[in-house]
Amino acid sequence: MSTSAILIIALALALDAFAVALAAGVSLPSVNSRHLFRLAWHFGLFQAMMNIIGWTAGLSFRELIESFDHWVAFGLLILVGLRMIYEAIHGVDDQNKKADPTRGKTLVVLAVATSIDSLAVGLSFSLLKIEIIKPALIIGVVAALLTAVGLMLGRLLKTASRLGAKVEIAGGLVLIAIGIRILFDHKVF
């Protein structure tokens, strides 16, 4: 898989983290370097690690489904993309506004919630026989960067929930498009 394709996937995966960081930036009374580091570090780390965990899980049964693995990858990406769109449209809220989203249990819950999609993508990478180190690093770095940008932008924008929903819908559509591209790459159409 090309670096540009991995970057597109990384951007799509990081849009959940970006949207949550926007909301966190709005909810915090002020954003300091500790908030920025904690949120960006954890979101980036969890995105990368969940990608590796998904890839590793895929290794155990890759040979069993090799003849239809592109359909599994397509299905996973479609499901993740549709879930992102559904949550954006229906206003699923992963954040407790009273707690500091950059600390404790809230931080861990948000980091896991925003990286579940990366687990599914890692599984897809395994099924498509894509080495994981480069994609996981790119996904983690992009997630950390977009989280930092989202947190800072959230401080500036008080309409983060509307913008966040639009960003999540865009991310879902990108993942669906990548799933369709996988089928074209395997000459299904």
Q: Is the pTM of this model over 0.85?
A: no
Residue with token string 């954040």? 95
| CA distances (Å), origin 71, targets 57, 81, 152, 172 | 17, 15, 39, 18
Q: What is the CA radius of gyration of the chain?
A: 16
**Could you report the per-residue pLDDT of 74-122, keeping only the tens digit for each?**
887 788 778 878 877 887 654 444 467 788 888 888 888 888 889 889 9
Left if phi > 0, otherwise alpha if psi is -120 to 50, otherwise beta: which for 129?
left
Q: Where are the chain's structural domains?
A: 3-185
Q: In this structure, are residues 32 and 162 in contact, taking their beta carbons and an 8 Å threshold?
A: no
Which contacts of 93-100 are long-range, i.e. CB under 8 A and separated by 24 or more positions?
Answer: 94/20, 95/20, 95/23, 95/24, 95/27, 97/27, 100/28, 100/35
Q: What is the pLDDT of residue 158?
A: 53
More confident residue, 168 or 134: 134
CA 78/CA 120 separation, integer angstroms: 11
Cβ neighbours of residue 32 closer than 8 Å, sequence gap 6 or more: none
